Amino acid sequence: MNIKSAPLSSLGSTPSNSSASSTSNLAGDASSNVSSGIDVCGQLQPSIIAPPPRKNPPKFEENNHNDGYEKVIVRQRGEENRTRLTDSQVLDELKRIVNGGNPYNKYKLEQKIGVGASGTVYTARIIHGEDEGQIVAVKRMAFKSQPKKEMLLTEIKVMQQYQHPNIVNYRESYLVEEDDLWVIMDYLEGGNLTDVVVKTELDEGQIAAILKECLKALNFLHNRSIIHRDIKSDNVLLGLDGSVKLTDFGFCAQIQPGSKRNTMVGTPYWMCPEIVNKARYNYKVDIWSLGIMALEMIDGEPPYLHETPLKAIYLIAQNGKPEIKQKEKLSKEFVHLIDRCLCVNPEERADTCELLEHPFIKQAKPLSALVPYIKAVKDLKDQ
- Output the CA–CA distances (angstroms, integers) from residue 106 to 26, 64, 103, 131, 184, in the order listed: 18, 33, 5, 10, 11
Clarify whether 92 is annotated catalytic: no
- Output the CA–CA distances (angstroms, integers) from residue 20 to 105, 161, 268, 271, 341, in the order listed: 30, 26, 15, 17, 24
Packed helices 87-97 and 149-161: angle between N→C axes, nearest 10 degrees: 20
Distance of CA 361 to the CA centre of its chain: 19
Q: How far apart are CA 358 and CA 360, in angstroms?
A: 5
- Dihedral of CA 273/275/277/279: which sign? positive
User: For residue 92, with 0-12 CB atoms within 10 Å meaning exposed, 13-18 middle and 19 or more buried, which class applies?
Assistant: exposed
Torsion region of 52: left, alpha or beta (phi above 0 gives left; psi -120 to 50 gives alpha):
beta
- Dihedral of CA 52/69/143/173: which sign? negative
Q: How far apart are the first and last CA of the chain?
A: 26
- Residues 379/200, Cβ–Cβ less than 8 Å: no
**Which residue in 67, 230, 241, 286 is the catalytic one?**
230
Active site residues: 230
